[in-house]
Amino acid sequence: MPLPLLTLMLGVFCVGTAEVVITGILPEMSTSLHVSVPTVGLLVTGYALGVTIGGPIITLLTAKWPRKVLLLSLMGVFVVGNIMAALAPNYATLMGARVFTSLSHGTFAAVAWYVAAQMAPPDKKATAMAKIALGFNFANVLGSPIGTVIGQHFGWRATFGYVTVFAVLCLLLIARFVPSNLSAENGPSIEESTPLRDQIKVFRQGSLQLSMLITVLAQGAVFTTSTYLAPLLRTIGHFAPAMIGVLLIVFGLGSVLGNILGGRAADANVMRGVLRAQTALLAALVLFWFAAPHQIPAAIALFLFGAAGFSIIPALQARILAVAAAAPALALSANVSAFNLGNGLGAWLGGTTIDLGFNARAVTLTAALATTVALLLSLAMWARGRRASPELPALGDVTITADAALAQETS
């Protein structure tokens, strides 16, 4: 992986780890802060809301900033926020620090994806974006477990210190390896040449609105199952508790493979990449339902579920980049918010399924239903595109201006 992409992936690893790292040390934080475990859990909710609401706003306000300056500034905010969290004297201050930190998350991820696409050849943009998304995979597979171990042995403040160390390293690497002259190499960026009013107008496009809805549903389907993997594997698959960690690594390895394959598929053709990823996810979820009671098949199905579930991320981000040519960074940031909404929707759908009296195995069918809806919407969008043009455009073919994008949408 080229060093600039590796640097941006590390940044995404940092912000992704910060979002989920405290889930493994909730009891320790509860005892230290003298609040209940559910109250500590709201620190995750507060962060997610900050990402969802703050990301598009921060992206819009900084649209004219040079990309490297913006990346450095956002990582600086992230470092300060985590230092504040590590030193927080009470729960209220810690919550404020978490929300402050989250304001950098959505914009950093969106700009990292956009910069990666800018630096890549036209036929490798989705693959470059997939490499950046690997940071989120590693955050779940490595970042969060390591932070949990550190917090359990050295206290929860050390966990925030651990995240801060990686963030400072990322800050230095961005300064060293990310090019400063992106605009000079690739021509003026869309944000530099498009007025803010026209960038906001991009959200009037029905194709963008539909793409974001598909993101919410597809990501929701993944989290409907992934949130409840532990009870599913233990109560249905009868795996020993000690095996859950190993199985989550299997799931994580599948997600890494899926990211790579999803990026390559979207490079060939964005819309077909989206359809193939969603079809694969639907098949993996149905297979998981059948395989869940049998340990070896369940482990194989878990790997395939991870691969299919995370192949969707680069495909959906590439689709957003294709339909939002007038404001790519802003649209990507909004889609990060859509992913976070999907996370919350999935956790709610899975929990509701169990609360209704179904066992943990049923969450795979609930997820399959959400995937089916997303797939049908994608097919409708694909059919609409086919009517407008006999060929589905690859990502590199989309170079329309803001005015052309709005005219195309209207027509």
Q: Classify domain 194-411 at the CATH superfamily level.
A: MFS general substrate transporter like domains (1.20.1250.20)
pLDDT surpassing 70 at residue 341: yes
pLDDT for res 182: 62
Amino acid at 101: T
Q: How confident is residue 310, by pLDDT bands cut at 50, 70 and 90? A: confident
Residue 8: CB atoms within 10 A of its CB come to 30
CA distances from residue 149 to 36, 142, 155, 244, 250 in whole angstroms, order as listed: 21, 11, 9, 16, 19
* pLDDT value at 384 more than 80: no
Q: How confident is the model at residue 143 (pLDDT cuts 50, 70, 90)?
A: confident
- Name the DSSP letter for residue 180: S
**Structure confidence by residue, pLDDT tens digits, 84-94:** 999 999 999 99
Across the chain, what does the average pLDDT equal? Answer: 82
pLDDT value at residue 197: 67
User: Worst-scoring range by mean pLDDT, 318-322, 342-346, 360-364, 375-379?
Assistant: 318-322
Specify the 3-state DSSP secondary structure of 121: coil
Please give the pLDDT value at position 385.
64
Q: Is the pLDDT score of 320 beyond 70?
A: yes
- % of the chain surpassing 90 pLDDT: 30
Rounded Cα–Cα distance for residues 408 and 391 (Å): 15
pLDDT score recorded for residue 122: 74
Token pair of 201 as six digits = 């107008």
Whole-number Cα distances in Å, 220 to 79, 340, 354, 387: 30, 9, 16, 29
Question: What is the b/e burial string over 77-109, where b = at least 16 CB atoms within 10 angstroms of the residue's CB?
Answer: bbbbbbbbbbebeebeebbebbbbbbbbbbbbb
Choices 1.10.10.10, 1.20.1250.20, 1.50.10.10, 1.10.20.60: CATH for 1-192: 1.20.1250.20
Q: What does the block give as tokens for 393?
A: 């455009």
pTM for the model: 0.73
Reported confidence tier of residue 192, pLDDT bands at 50, 70, 90: low
Q: What is the 3-state secondary structure (H, E, C) of 198-253?
A: HHHHHHHCHHHHHHHHHHHHHHHHHHHHHCCHHHHHHHHCCCCHHHHHHHHHHHHH
- Cα 400 to its chain centre, rounded Å, is 26
Domain 1-192 and domain 194-411, same fold? Reply is yes
Q: Is the pLDDT of residue 391 over 60?
A: no
- Rounded CA gap, 310 and 132, in Å? 13
Domain extents in the chain: 1-192, 194-411
> Residue 173: pLDDT band by 50, 70, 90 thresholds?
very high
Distance set, CA 326 to CA 39, 192, 266, 390, 405 (Å): 41, 11, 20, 23, 7
Amino acid letter, 130: A
What is the per-residue pLDDT for 410? 35
- At 153, the pLDDT band (50, 70, 90 cuts) reads confident
- 15-42 pLDDT per residue, tens: 989 987 886 777 788 889 998 876 887 7
* pLDDT band (50, 70, 90) for residue 78: very high
CB-based burial, 147-177: b 16+ in 10 Å, e otherwise = bbebbeeebbbbbbbbbbebbbebbebbeee
Range among 235-249, 334-348, 363-377 rated most confident: 363-377
Asked if pLDDT for residue 184 goes beyond 60, the answer is no
- Contact (Cβ atoms closer than 8 angstroms) between residue 218 and residue 320: no
Q: What is the pLDDT of residues 94-134, one digit of tens each?
A: 999 999 999 999 889 888 988 888 888 877 777 888 788 88
More confident residue, 409 or 242: 242
Per the model's pLDDT, the better-predicted residue between 220 and 120 turns out to be 220
What is d(CA 156, CA 1) in angstroms, rounded to the nearest whole number? 33
